[in-house]
Structure 1
């Protein structure tokens, strides 16, 4: 599967996880929604024009969700891999 399709798939999974129970605290929900918005922008850009900071943002999010929401953290790790495969 091409990296862009993998990223799109992982973003969809992340959206599903965001809407599942138990509900996330508002602060964490807003942080994930902002991250999803960044991914959607990334999918529209060519790899050469994409800012590298998004991978840093995702790695920070992994740390925030790792203990309380391991499923979300796993999806975020998959997104890091997809971004790396895209050269980001």
Structure 2
């Protein structure tokens, strides 16, 4: 169940990025890499879990919180899903 919620949040984040918010290429690339890491974690769900992914998402929340609150909110939901998965 937590993996399904996490996938739903990733889909929401993708939809937000498709709306072309004013992000720099570096910010877009950082989010893309982060989403790929989370996708990998979903695939491994019960295998070795990397706690640094949650740290990376938390850093992204801090980075986007002021200028892109919707993206930051989605990232917070992703953190909650990762915590629910024990990551």
User: TM over 0.5, yes or no?
Assistant: yes
Deviation at 1:48, TM superposition (A): 4.3
Q: CA-to-partner distance for each residue in 1:44-86, whole Å, 9 max, x for gaps?
A: 1033411111000000000000000000000000000000000
Distance in 2 of aligned mates of 1:14 and 1:51? 21
**How many residue pairs align between the two structures?**
87
**Following superposition, which runs of at least 4 residues in structure 1 exceed 6 angstroms of deviation?**
none
Q: TM-score, normalised by structure 2?
A: 0.94
Contact 2:3 2:45 in 1 (8 A): no
Gaps of 5+ in 1: none
The Cα RMSD (Å) is: 1.0
Distance in 2 of aligned mates of 1:79 and 1:55? 8
Q: CA-to-partner distance for each residue in 1:4-55, whole Å, 9 max, x for gaps?
A: 1000000000111111133421111001000110111011103341111100
Gaps of 5+ in 2: none
Deviates further, 13-22 or 55-64? 13-22
1:42 maps to what in 2? 41
